[in-house]
Each structure stands twice: as structure tokens, then as C-alpha cells.
Amino acid sequence: MRRAVSPFSIPLRVMGVATALVLLAACAPLGTPAPTPALTDTPIPPTPEWMVYNRDNSGLPSNQLTPALAFDAQGNLWIGTRREGLAKFDGENWTVYNTGNSGLPHDQVVALAFDAQGNLWIGTGGGLAKFDGENWTVYNTDNSGLPHNAVHALAFDAQGNLWIGTGGFFSPGGGGLAKFDGENWTVYNTANSELPHNQILALAIDAQGNLWIGTEIGVAQFDGENWTVYNTGNSGLPHNLVPALAIDAQGNVWMGTDGGLAQFDGENWTVYNTANSGLPHNGLHGERIAIDAQGNLWIETEGGVAQFDGVNWTVYNTDNSGLPDDYVLGLAIDAQGNKWIGTHYGGLAVYRESGVK
């Protein structure tokens, strides 16, 4: 039986001050002044909120996104799409760049990185582009030392060198790894180095300046001179396909593979998969694993997004959240801690974990 609710049990902040005054006055003993209620309401805890942007309700040019999501210094979100170019979103307005209205060399945008001067570097299916907000500069196999026009991963080191992983989705052979210092190109491939495969899927740089390279057949660590290769045959790596890399504040290297998530501390390997953890899917195909200000990992999978604090797992998917598609490819975190999530077919979602106050 439903319990009857007395109007006097309703919080003042719900009833309103005027109504509360009348009720309190009616309940007060005769001759006793009614107490004056406080005008400052008790803060209501914020409720987590999801919002979805797609081509039907926003200026997003496509619902098919890629791992390419990045924030600039002004807080604008840049979004790569699978076939419709590059979008910029400032929170209200959308700007779309494609091969028809800009110097973008290809409408498939797979990787994004900002240099120290704020220039945006864009990895596409048709070469590498640099955009300073007005001017475009394009590098390809015809006019530069870029080894392959399919650019899948980008990372800047402490010296300002741009490391470029090529091959990606476009060619079985790939093109290898390139370093560009603004003038000179250096190319590393299976023929001239110990790189295990020419198809480069992910890049990350640790605090010591070592470059970590995810490939189709394992992970390579390169210190500028020496190579160390980890694969399923010589390490605890659970799968040789490694499309995602991240390095946490403690120096652990996190590797997203086609066989689950691996953590490597330089000596020991720990593997998380659907059989031994809360990971929702073993296929981790985003370019990066995001790490928030609290040190939590946010992991893009084919079964939704997983948050891992080192002990506990929280999974967000289409059944229990506002996520529009379980196949998640990209995730970026803004200055307020909001998670922006790019999906394969469902557009862009933002998860405001702290809610909207």
C-alpha cells in the first residue's frame, strides 16, 4: 500500500517559499510568531547527464566517427569523421572542413595532434595536413618524406618532433614510422630497423622520452637508438594487434589489444579481459586509452566504454546509459572532466559525470 505523503513532509525547496510560509503559520501555536524559513535552499546534488550529437540534431557532418578527437587550447573540440571530413565544435557552433571547402587532403580523418604553437596536425587517408586556423599545408608521398599517405597515428615528443604512424586502415603493407622535425624526415620500417611491422596503429611517449609503437604484430619501444619488441611469443601481451596505447602517471604502459587490456610496468604484465574482469569486450579498437585527472582509465571497446580505477569497473553501454552506439572508437576529456565519446555509427556523445549545476 502506498504511504500517504503529508504536505508538511515536502521539503521547502520543492514547495516554494510562499506556500511554506502559509503552512508554517497555520501549524504554529496561537500567539507564537511563525518562524521565518531560510531563503537559501539546500543544494541539490547534480545528476549525471548524457547528450548526443548527430547529423540530425546538430552540425556534425556524419554519425560515423573515427578515433580522432582532440581539444585545442581554447576548448574547441575537433572531431574526425570516416568520410565527411573534420568538424570543430565550440559548444554552440559547428564548423566543417572537407576536401570541397578547405585544404584538407582527404575526407577520412583518423588522427589529430596539436603542436606547441597551437597548429593542428591532421592524419588522413590522403596524407598529413597542418592547419594554423587559416592556412593549410599538406604533406604526402609526392612532396615530402612521408612514407605512406594513410596516416593513422600522431605524437609530439619533448623536442617538438612529430612522430607519424602510417599504414592504418588503408594498405596491407603499410608504410612504417616517420619522424618530422619541421624540415627533415626520418623513416623507420621493417627493412632498416627493428620495427616489427610497417602498419602503425598507435603511438605514445613516456616520461623518459621513449616512443611506444602499437603495430599489427606487437608493440615496439624505441629510445632513439635501441628497439625492444614485445609480442605474444616473448611477453605477457595477450594479442599482437595493438591499436591503443596510454601511459599513466606512474609510468605504466596500458595497451589495448584485440585480446583485452594489458598493463606493463616495465617488468610485470597484468592482463584484463572479459573472463577475469569487468571489461565488456576484448576488442579495443580506439587509438587511445584516456586517463582522467583522478587517474581513472576510460577504455573504448566494441561493447561500450569502461571506466577502471585500478580496482572497480563501471561500464556504460546502450542499455544502461545515453551512449548511442556500443562500438566506441574515440574518447577525449575536456577541462571540466566531461567525457566526449566518438562512436562508429551513433555520432558523438558527451557524458557530464558531475552533472549540470
Q: In this structure, are 80 and 155 located in the same domain?
A: no
Q: Are 65 and 80 in contact (CB under 8 A)?
A: yes
Q: Per residue, what are the HEC states of the chain?
A: CCCCCCHHHCCHHHHCHHHHHHHHHHHCCCCCCCCCCCCCCCCCCCCCEEEEECCCCCCCCCCCEEEEEEECCCCCEEEEECCCCEEEECCCCEEEECCCCCCCCCCCEEEEEECCCCCEEEEECCEEEEECCCCEEEECCCCCCCCCCCEEEEEECCCCCEEEEEECCCCCCCCEEEEECCCCEEEECCCCCCCCCCCEEEEEECCCCCEEEEECCEEEEECCCCEEEECCCCCCCCCCCCCEEEECCCCCEEEEECCEEEEECCCCEEEECCCCCCCCCCCCCCCECEECCCCCEEEEECCEEEEECCCCEEEECCCCCCCCCCCEEEEEECCCCCEEEEECCCCEEEEECCCCC
Q: In this structure, are 62 and 37 located in the same domain?
A: no
Q: In this structure, are 35 and 50 located in the same domain?
A: no
Q: In this structure, are 35 and 51 located in the same domain?
A: no
The residue ranking higher by pLDDT, 39 or 186, is 186
Q: In this structure, are 116 and 203 located in the same domain?
A: yes
Percent above pLDDT 90 for the chain: 82
Tell me the CB-side half-sphere exposure of residue 244, using CA atoms within 13 A.
31
Q: In this structure, are 185 and 279 located in the same domain?
A: no
User: Within a domain: residue 54?
Assistant: yes
101 CB-contact burial (10 Å; exposed 0-12 / middle 13-18 / buried 19+): exposed
User: Within a domain: residue 235?
Assistant: no
Q: Are 98 and 104 in contact (CB under 8 A)?
A: yes
Range of the domain at 10: 1-41
The CATH number for 327's domain is: 2.130.10.10
Last residue of a domain, one of 203, 230, 257: 230
Give me the number of domains the chain comprises. Answer: 3
pLDDT digits (tens, 9 = 90+) for 80-99: 999 999 999 999 999 999 99
User: Within a domain: residue 189?
Assistant: yes
Cell triple for residue 279? 571489461
The residues near 269 (Cβ < 8 Å, ≥ 6 apart) are 235, 236, 237, 262, 263
Q: Which residues pair with 65 in a beta bridge?
A: 81
Q: In this structure, are 203 and 223 located in the same domain?
A: yes
Last residue of a domain, one of 230, 260, 285: 230
Q: In this structure, are 222 and 262 located in the same domain?
A: no
Cα distances (Å, whole numbers) of residue 351 to 119, 248, 318: 27, 22, 13
Other Cβ atoms less than 10 A from the Cβ of 304: the count is 23
User: Within a domain: residue 269?
Assistant: yes
Q: Decide if pLDDT at 13 tops 60.
A: no
Q: In this structure, are 219 and 282 located in the same domain?
A: no
User: Within a domain: residue 69?
Assistant: yes
Q: In this structure, are 152 and 200 located in the same domain?
A: yes
Q: In this structure, are 222 and 114 located in the same domain?
A: yes
Q: In this structure, are 211 and 288 located in the same domain?
A: no
User: Within a domain: residue 103?
Assistant: no
User: Within a domain: residue 237?
Assistant: no
The pTM (predicted TM-score) of the whole model is 0.86
Last residue of a domain, one of 198, 230, 262: 230
Interior CA angle at 121 toward 337 and 76, to 5°? 35
Find how far residue 211's CA is from the centre of its chain: 20
When pLDDT is cut at 50, 70 and 90, the band that residue 168 belongs to is: low
Q: What's the rounded mean pLDDT across residues 219-245?
A: 97
Q: Please give the mean pLDDT across all residues of the chain.
A: 88
Measuring CA to CA, which residue among 243, 207, 296, 268 is closest to residue 110? Answer: 243
**What is the pLDDT at residue 287?**
65
When pLDDT is cut at 50, 70 and 90, the band that residue 42 belongs to is: very low
User: Within a domain: residue 342?
Assistant: yes
